[in-house]
Amino acid sequence: MTIAQLRGLQNCTVVLRLTDGEVLMSRINFVDLEYEDIVIDVLETNRPEQYKGPKNSAYAIKAEDIASIERIMA
């Protein structure tokens, strides 16, 4: 997925499917055009063992690691 495709999803809740098989429900806080990644809050994941930080931690994901994205309508 390209960073240009993610620009319009900043501040949205989405389901991300990553190339390694992880599926996350997350909120996109920031789309970084320079580094081509997104900063997210993880709401749910099928791999919780990867997120050992405090509950309010934010995580960066490279755009190239995203296989698909689905916006969740509120």
Question: The domain that contains 12 carries what CATH number?
Answer: 2.30.30.100
Under 8 Å between Cβ of 69 and 13:
no
User: Where do the DSSP E strands lie in the chain?
Assistant: 13-18, 23-32, 37-45, 58-62, 66-71
Which range of residues forms the domain containing residue 56? Answer: 3-71
Task: Report the 3 state secondary structure along 13-26.
Answer: EEEEEECCCCEEEE
Instruction: Specify the number of domains making up the chain.
Output: 1
Q: What is the pLDDT along the chain (74 residues), one digit of tens a residue?
A: 789 889 999 999 999 999 999 999 999 999 999 999 999 999 999 999 999 888 889 999 999 999 999 999 75
pTM summary value: 0.90
